[in-house]
Structure 1
């Protein structure tokens, strides 16, 4: 007797990447929303990233509009003529107001909330909420397109924030950790952090975006995050 089971739906894969080295990184200058360019080393890091993604099918790229991000994703764009690209200002890093252009020594780099209260600085918790809104919109746009095929989306931003005690509140417990999901605050410039949802059609949506408040269980799997030697 022929099987009457229906084919399973496709998975939705997310690949998170961050920009390479800039001159401000070398000089320990706070960047925030300041538009800077990659150094020669940063461009080499972007090439390494492109090589890691060389055989990876990609359907769409969502990215910060800042130059250092554009330069980071450019090397893996050739030959991908059908890839949809979306620049989203909500994928920028934390806005640092009057601190931008100043020394790293002005803040405690180990504490993401240490700049809160400084003139013009975006509160870290507001930055987290903005990032979550952006991700919710991306999931809302991409999940309905999976159908019975896998769909892979790149999110290129300024820091692939995962989970440390100082970043409590970024993630509800909606994801299962794989054995290679190391606890780091920021991934390296040539990392590709990977997360997948096996049943995107079952994700709760409200007005076309992921409804964080209605997530039950742990529908996402964090496959890869950071590097073992950086685990904390």
Structure 2
């Protein structure tokens, strides 16, 4: 049992609808804005989180993410937010602006080798860097009470990170299995804009850290619990 008693909660959210989503266009690092419906979705998400204590927000710097978190922060003037470029989606180079049909959406490495495309394994490594910094920084701030962190990123990032922590077949080789999945966690290709995926660290102060970041090689067991992920009807 953690001597402090508090848990670290990470709430992962994705952006609302963009025109590229409607047109089935690969966005990657395209800095697209929310549609009118996307803004409504952002407000629905904010309403869903209205009674939720939030201590800090980390987010992708792309406009669609910034617009999504604005309603969440609107009545939380004391909550700080930090943009982290490592939380952007996979850079797709010359494929950005093209149709979903140009790649195999079920194969995370299908875009590898395209002009300017960030290799999927490199994408996962930077997600893990961001996660290590966030957890390493926030774990040491947990005291007797729980601490809750919002991570606003892209659907492919949430799925890829969770699958990597679980050491799922498409994301093997980065680390051993570090996360277990609760009964309300369902593996999905990407989360919906109104989903709030919840990952919990029951004993955050026992995690090995160095210079404010997780020491992956020293982590033992499965210290992360994926409590909520996706919707049952969209699970693989």
Return the index of the structure with the highest Cα Rg: 1
The alignment's C-alpha RMSD in Å is 1.5
Is the Cα contact below 8 Å between 2:4 and 2:143 reproduced in 1? no
Aligned residue runs from structure 1 range 185-200, under 5 A: 185-200=189-204
How far is 1:83 from its partner? 0.7
Given candidates 18, 38, 42, the residue that maps to 2:14 is: 18
Counterpart residue number, 2:230: 226
1:85 match: secondary structure: strand
Unpaired runs of 5+ residues, structure 2, are none
Aligned residues: 227
Change (3 A) 1:56 1:231: same
Runs of 4+ in 1 over 2 A off after TM superposition: 6-9, 162-172
Given candidates 19, 37, 53, the residue that maps to 1:57 is: 53
Counterpart residue number, 1:133: 129
Indicate yes or no: 2:66 matched with 1:70.
Answer: yes
Aligned residue runs from structure 1 range 22-61, under 5 A: 22-61=18-57
Change (3 A) 1:169 1:182: farther
**Structure 2 CA distance, aligned partners of 1:169 and 1:192?**
27
How far is 1:186 from its partner? 1.4
1:62 match: secondary structure: strand
User: Structure 1 or 2: larger helix share?
Assistant: 2
Aligned residue runs from structure 1 range 107-118, under 5 A: 107-118=103-114
Unpaired runs of 5+ residues, structure 1, are 1-5
**Structure 2 CA distance, aligned partners of 1:42 and 1:171?**
35
Indicate yes or no: 2:178 matched with 1:174.
Answer: yes
**Structure 2 CA distance, aligned partners of 1:220 and 1:23?**
35
How does the TM-score come out when normalised to structure 1? 0.93
How far is 1:165 from its partner? 3.6
How far is 1:169 from its partner? 4.4
How far is 1:170 from its partner? 6.0
Indicate yes or no: 2:149 matched with 1:153.
Answer: yes
**Structure 2 CA distance, aligned partners of 1:74 and 1:109?**
30
How far is 1:206 from its partner? 2.2
